[in-house]
Amino acid sequence: MHKGNKQTLPSKICQCCKKPFSWRKKWAKCWDDVKYCSDRCRTNK
């Protein structure tokens, strides 16, 4: 999916820290379900 410019990647706002985060390859199959930018935010919901 991604080759080159990181600005073309989809992004979301973390529901915990309210900071934007970008798509990662490990989230390719579950991007619609991703709500938090990191494990730290996920555990501190």
Domain boundaries, the chain: 10-43
pLDDT confidence of residue 8 = 84
Q: Is the pTM value of this prediction over 0.85?
A: no
Between the CA of residue 8 and those of 3, 5, 26, 28, what are the distances in Å? Answer: 9, 6, 17, 15
Residue-wise pLDDT tens digits, 1-45: 556 677 788 999 999 999 999 999 999 999 999 999 999 999 997
- Rounded to whole angstroms, how far apart are CA atoms 14 and 34? 9
Rounded to a whole number, what is the distance in angstroms from the first to the last CA of the chain? Answer: 30
